[in-house]
Amino acid sequence: MQIMSFIARWCLDRTLADQISIFLGLFMPLVLTVSFFVCCVVFLAILFKLVSDEKYASLKKIHREQKVGSLISGLALGWGGFQGYELLGQDFPSIASLFPIITPLLIIGVYFLMDYIFTRALGGFMIMLVCELLFRTQEVHMVGRILFSLGAYVVAVAGMYMIGQPWKFRDLVFKASEDKSFGTKLSAVISVLLLSMIIPFAIAYV
């Protein structure tokens, strides 16, 4: 309600151009972050639900998918490089100037040299999204904040395991492919985790 009241106040006394500018500056990054985060978590829920179906047997190899993994890695590294450049640009311009050079090299290196690239890239990307969500909602009054925060920490820890021990994710995929009930239960747990974060978030912004 606080957010909606704020929107109503600035809509009354600003031009359309100002309204669009403020919306893009304040809300568009949050909308993109939430959209990417939901897509990542929903994908995992669908993955564990469908991987036991013979029609989707190719999902058993998703943990080492190189092309999609490289795309996610490029998004994560590009975003991280941009944040580093913005953070250090004023105080340490000489260091910041290295980011546009280092970031593309890292993206290329990851494509050719990293194993389990999809698993690691997705884990890292989810950690970045969760950190961004926590940062952007830290001053928002949120009913059920504890659920939102706990869900975020669970996702972050899962992301750390996906980076450091990606074979655990592979083992979960294999087990879900062999045991349909296990995959269904795991998918349900992931869905509940997502809802525990989305519901408090949605209530705070409506």
Q: What is the DSSP letter of 165?
A: -
Of 68, 124, 80, residue with least CA distance to 104? 80
The predicted-structure confidence for 148-200, as pLDDT tens digits, reads as follows: 999 999 999 999 999 999 999 999 999 999 999 999 999 999 999 999 999 99
**Reported pTM:** 0.84
Read off the pLDDT band of 24 (50, 70, 90).
low
**From CA 185, how far away is CA 49, in angstroms rounded?**
8
**From CA 204, how far away is CA 206, in angstroms rounded?**
6
Q: What is the pLDDT of residue 14?
A: 57
